[in-house]
A and B are shown apart, each in its own frame.
Chain A
């Protein structure tokens, strides 16, 4: 079975610093996808970034980048120049494609707090 582990329940970072949120995964599939979502206190789930298992380069989206280390089965999210609005829960998720639908398996999340 696929599994996502986020080992940091909470993180506190000073504004403008870079922050790395850890995500490790377990799968026996060769083809898979990894997603990061942000959940602010208002509750909605916001897609941030995607990395496919066959992508040769690390994904980047603005201030977000994904440090993908396939051999170590890790897909850490890096936020550069953090802002107060980055304070939120962050979830790492893996796509389970067995059966055809894009079912997501989520980690437990990391609560990030940005201090001014």
Chain B
């Protein structure tokens, strides 16, 4: 299995509080991604990174920011959490060969009350 660790695995917090999710990889892959999964929508891309300090927006980036200060870590921050951000968040990694699949972490279940 690809070495991807997401933390925390579960979190419950209140509206308006800041939340940071962490993705850590041991594969030295260049690309890292954050997705959210909601019923009826499959997975949707929030942000992605193509190198240290290089990030870009995905399909549903509003309300989220990311940072990547080291190859192995990719952080997703909700500056002021809202109930609409209640979701399951997946981190994924991929290498430079586009024919190789993305590998996913086990997900973080986030509930905003």
The chain A residues found within 8 Å of chain B, CB to CB, are 4, 33, 35, 37, 43-45, 47, 50, 52, 91, 93, 95, 97, 99-109
Contacts and interface: CB of A to CB of B under 8 A. Distances in A.
B29 to A, nearest CB: 10
Nearest to A89: B42
Given A108-B40, A108-B41, A102 B106 contact: no
A106 B102 CA distance: 13
24 contacts: A33-B98, A37-B104, A43-B88, A43-B107, A45-B90, A45-B92, A45-B107, A47-B101, A47-B102, A47-B103, A91-B43, A97-B98, A101-B48, A102-B94, A103-B45, A103-B48, A104-B43, A104-B45, A104-B102, A106-B35, A106-B43, A106-B44, A107-B42, A108-B42
In order of increasing CB-CB distance, the 5 nearest A-B pairs are: A106-B42, A45-B104, A47-B101, A106-B43, A102-B94
B106 A44 contact: yes
- Between A35, A45, A52, A109, the greatest number of chain B beta carbons within 10 A of the residue's beta carbon is seen for A45
Contact of A102 (B40, B43, B59, B102): B102
B33 interface: yes
B99 interface: yes
Given A33-B99, A44-B104, A101-B50, 7 more contacts: A35-B102, A44-B107, A91-B43, A93-B43, A103-B33, A104-B35, A104-B92
Nearest to B48: A101
B50 to A, nearest CB: 5
Interface in B35-73: 35, 40-45, 48-50, 56, 58-59
- Provide the main secondary structure of the chain B interface: strand
Interface string B69-113: 000000000000000000010101010001101111011000000
Contacts of A45: 43, 90, 92, 104, 107
A102 B31 contact: yes
